[in-house]
Structure 1
Amino acid sequence: MAARIYQRPKNAMQSGRARTAEWVLEFESSEAQRPDPLMGWAGGADTQSQVVLTFPSVAEATAYADRYGIPARVQPTPPRRLKLQAYADNFR
């Protein structure tokens, strides 16, 4: 089962940068989710997709994947783009 390693992005609802320095190893789903006929919730029989492991660095995450023979791909972190503007720009 393949996995992906990525750095957790900042939540849109938070102003701080808590928990954005840790790296996440997440298993990819092997089958598509299907809706439950009674409740309508999406689900499946793949329990491996519920496993989410966190690591302090990308090197530790890749070492874990190599040690247990998990084929993993690392998604690079996109660069932060700051939109710098002055308060006076609101009145132009």
Structure 2
Amino acid sequence: MGKRFEPAVAASGRWVDEDGVRAPGGSVHAWRPGTNQTLCGIPLHKAGLERFPHVLWIDARWLADTTAERIVLCHRCSAAAGDRPGRRRWTRDRPRP
């Protein structure tokens, strides 16, 4: 097993909360800072996803459950981030060309 990390968030939209902090909205993906793709393999720039390095994946899951904003979490990113305790993590074997 490799080193565990807590992924940040990349999303197709954004909104601003009461404190003036940017928050992810729309389609939300887990993203490892320092790379140009999500954990499920979507390239950030080509897909037009905005990076949220200050929002961790676990916080995005909480936002999806508690906020009135529309937030849809990627199920492949959830599996790759290890959101399913006791189950094997999902990995991509062959990157896209």
Same fold by TM (over 0.5)? Answer: no
Q: Please state which structure has a larger fraction of its residues in strand.
A: 2
Larger Rg computed on CA atoms? 1
Identify which of structures 1 and 2 has the higher relative contact order when contacts are C-alpha pairs closer than 8 Å and 6+ apart: 1
